[in-house]
Structure 1
Amino acid sequence: MVVLLKLAPPLRQTLLRLILAGLLFWSSIAAMLPTLPLYIAQKGSTPHQVGFVMGAFAVGLLGSRSWLGPLADRRGRKITLLIGLAVAAIAPLFYILSHNLPLLIAVRLLHGVSIAGFTTGYMALVTDIAPPQHRGEIIGYTSLVHPIGVALGPSLGSWLQMHYGHDWVFIVASTLAALGCMAAAGVRAVNRAQESGELPAETTLFWRLLLSERLRIPSLVMLSVGLTFGTIATFIPLFMAAEQLGVSPGLFYSVAAIASFIGRVLTGAASDRWGRGIFISASLAAYVVSMVLLAQAQTPLDVLWAAILEGLAGGVLIPMVAALMADRSTPQERGRVLSLSLGGFDLGMALAGPLLGGLVEHWGYRVIFRMGAVFSLLGLAFFLTASSKSLPDSLRFALGMGRDRYAL
């Protein structure tokens, strides 16, 4: 935390406003995690249909990144941040008015834009501000808003649903995001892309960046993890209700968020010294073990251990990939690069619900958690063998024994 105090006062004030906005944003999103799948099911949807609705969120995410990333580079980070918060404030209110499957899918698509806008603007602002030698540490600290929000939100959402019903979950989620929008309105930061003069030609070739060697493997890793996380986000509430293992969905998400908080605190500064590779590899391995535990869970303790490992994995992986992509990009293209790499995660989330929802009806929830383990294992294999310019370089980087040869 000392490094934050060393920043110039205007930059420090910007970070504090960002942190407050982030806490409110993620609390809003997370309040609906344990309740929305149940709300959709109560409308008469099958598990397969619940998967389609939940997956539509990530479709909206993925589709909007193609214009929000370039917008962050062209018009500044703040505008994308505010778009994300404004959508997060509006979308929950539409759930109340949605009484059939097509309307729920439409609202879920719209809601997906919120995370695309917020995460692109937030991460680009933070990486613009952070000195390169402390980039991992500052990203680690400022990303704590996610686990804190995800720790508070599910418990709040479950409590509201139990005592006041689903409508109040949506009203409170909308209010939290609106307060976050007010906090972010005062953000002032230097737009590094505009400082640097003319933007590169790739501004109009957003998706072509995926062909870049520095971006391809991190995006594939994020795709594999998105498939795993999408499985958890969509099916954990239904799995808990079906198996009755003595753990509420809200408790699962809260325990995972606390573990995520611990992982981010411990690894941010360490990655500035030892590189991002070893932490990305370790987080992917933790995802594999977490999914295996869920697939075999018989007791509340099994489920809680899976939540701890999933939280540690996600808490380390996403900030590390963000730091890795900041290392590998110039300020002029950073909005697009971050947007694309995180877009792999979005695509995985979009596919997980529809892809696996149909399997639940035939094979049950435990089989799809085993598939989640396979997805993460594939991501680990990609990273170990192709994260650098050759196989030996990739292994050294992924195991913390060599530098990132794509870093600028």
Structure 2
Amino acid sequence: MKAFDGLHPELRRNLLMLFAAGLLFWSGLSAFLPTLPLYIEETGATKQQIGIVMGSFAVGMLLFRPQFGFLADRQGRKIVLLIGMVVAAIAPLGYLFAKSIIPLMAVRAFHGISIAAFATGYTALAADFSPEHRRGEIMGYMSLTTPIGTAIGPAIGGLLHASYGYTALFLSCAASASLGFLCLFPVVNPVINKPPQNEIDNRFWQLLLSPRVRVPAIVLFLMGLSLGSVHTFISLFIKSTGVDFNGGLFFTAAAIASFGVRLFTGRASDKYGRGLFVTLSLIVYTLAVACIYLATTPAQFFLGGFMEGAAAGSIFPTMSAMMADRALPHERGKVFGISLMGFDIGLVGAGPIFGAVAETIGYRSMFSVAIALTTIATIVFLTQSSKSLTTSLRFALGRGIDGYALK
């Protein structure tokens, strides 16, 4: 990758091994996306119960993400990455034995711990390895593991399910995470100077309530609700419309778009500012959900997936780089963990809330609520992202600096 040119060979090796581990993690995890709701439906679950089980994944993330953020700052990022990969290897085996709603919820919540650990440690370590003036560029490239993995995973998962059934799917996901675990061993933690222990322990609420973290957490919360509604119910919505379109192709289209935008938005955000790309991402995501809401043909569902992937592929690495700008090295784990907790809460609520909405007004009308949520998120970021309304608008539109960025 050109972004790695000029880096020390040891640093480049660390980044490549970390990238390989991330690719294996996300491909194994995303193989469940088009098939797990159908697996749950076959147990006799209602729409709302499907939402509850799928949403249970975020319970594990919500409960453990802050703790793993603190652990990453205290003991290093690598131990957190290893924990996440171990859980990702064990959890798929649990689905083989879970045949009713309560056991499925328990396995799904346990599976969520994998992201709480791995994603927090991965993002913090990628930020540690990134020079400040190229942070967006390198973090953007490192985030490519998500779209590549989510392009490969659903395709392989759908093929395995269609050809060999659920058992082969679950076993392959466990094997993928096991290989990722081996890739992490050569990765070396960078040395980070830490403040006194009591300062680390006493800053959780200060960070949570500070505007540099609170506002991104609110935006991510609203995004989590909207994204959760799409990822949980898109396959069932397509099935209910009678449109001849494989739900796995929706996620593949999203992954292709997500990959494409990450090739340039990271570097562009270094040049033009993070705020502009967060704003554009929120607008495009709103349009993507509107496209899904109106879709009646395979082409429209494919376009909705493509737009959804482009928006997500831009906002998450850009938001991560923005939070890295706003955090000192010794607190990056906590800042990432706490800010992403907003996204986790959104995912927790998306399944049961939108499941209940779908039971009442149907899947199509359900997506109109998701459109409203991303519209609100856009307004919040435009008006609250910096220290005043004027500076917020300037930052969010790429006309001013981030008032909360630290040097």
TM-score category (smaller protein): over 0.9
Measure, in 2, the Cα distance between the counterparts of 1:207 and 1:307.
37
The match for 1:327 among 300, 325, 328 is 325
Q: Is the CA contact 1:224–1:376 (under 8 Å) kept in the aligned structure 2?
A: yes
* Pair 1:202–1:377, CA change in 2 (3 A): farther
Equivalent residue number for residue 10 of structure 1: 10
Measure, in 2, the Cα distance between the counterparts of 1:260 and 1:120.
20
Q: Secondary structure at the residue paired with 2:402?
A: coil
Q: Is the CA contact 2:76–2:189 (under 8 Å) kept in the aligned structure 1?
A: no
Q: 1:199: Cα distance to partner?
A: 4.8
The match for 2:271 among 270, 273, 277 is 273
Equivalent residue number for residue 381 of structure 1: 379
Measure, in 2, the Cα distance between the counterparts of 1:137 and 1:244.
42
The aligned runs of 1:175-190 (5 Å cut-off) are 175-190=175-190
The match for 2:335 among 315, 334, 337 is 337
Equivalent residue number for residue 221 of structure 2: 223
Equivalent residue number for residue 263 of structure 1: 261
Q: 1:367: Cα distance to partner?
A: 1.3
Q: Which letter maps to 2:301?
A: V
The aligned runs of 1:70-85 (5 Å cut-off) are 70-85=70-85
The match for 2:360 among 342, 346, 362 is 362
Measure, in 2, the Cα distance between the counterparts of 1:205 and 1:121.
19
What TM-score results when the alignment is normalised by the length of structure 2? 0.98
Equivalent residue number for residue 203 of structure 1: 201
**Identity across matched positions, percent:** 47
Q: Which letter maps to 1:274?
A: Y
Q: Which letter maps to 1:31?
A: A
* Pair 1:45–1:310, CA change in 2 (3 A): same
Measure, in 1, the Cα distance between the counterparts of 2:41 and 2:205.
36
Equivalent residue number for residue 56 of structure 2: 56
Q: Which letter maps to 2:332?
A: R
* Pair 1:208–1:105, CA change in 2 (3 A): farther
Q: How many residues align?
A: 406
Q: 1:244: Cα distance to partner?
A: 2.2
Measure, in 1, the Cα distance between the counterparts of 2:330 and 2:378.
30
Q: Which letter maps to 2:52?
A: F
Equivalent residue number for residue 100 of structure 1: 100
Q: 1:205: Cα distance to partner?
A: 4.2
What TM-score results when the alignment is normalised by the length of structure 1? 0.98
Q: 1:30-80 deviations in whole A, cap 9, x for unaligned?
A: 100001010001011011000000000001101011211100000000011
Q: Secondary structure at the residue paired with 1:79?
A: helix
Q: Is the CA contact 2:3–2:141 (under 8 Å) kept in the aligned structure 1?
A: no
Equivalent residue number for residue 351 of structure 1: 349
Q: 1:82: Cα distance to partner?
A: 0.6
Q: 1:2: Cα distance to partner?
A: 2.6
Q: 1:93-142 deviations in whole A, cap 9, x for unaligned?
A: 00001111110000011000000100111011110110000000000000
Measure, in 2, the Cα distance between the counterparts of 1:2 and 1:305.
30
Measure, in 2, the Cα distance between the counterparts of 1:274 and 1:203.
36
Q: Is the CA contact 1:199–1:332 (under 8 Å) kept in the aligned structure 2?
A: no
Q: 1:246: Cα distance to partner?
A: 2.0
Q: Is the CA contact 1:226–1:349 (under 8 Å) kept in the aligned structure 2?
A: yes
The match for 2:283 among 282, 285, 288 is 285
Measure, in 2, the Cα distance between the counterparts of 1:117 and 1:76.
12
Q: Runs of 5+ in structure 2 lacking a partner? A: none
Measure, in 2, the Cα distance between the counterparts of 1:362 and 1:31.
30
Measure, in 2, the Cα distance between the counterparts of 1:11 and 1:144.
18
Q: Which runs of 4+ in 1 moved over 4 A?
A: none
Equivalent residue number for residue 173 of structure 1: 173
Q: Runs of 5+ in structure 1 lacking a partner? A: none
Measure, in 1, the Cα distance between the counterparts of 2:344 and 2:245.
27
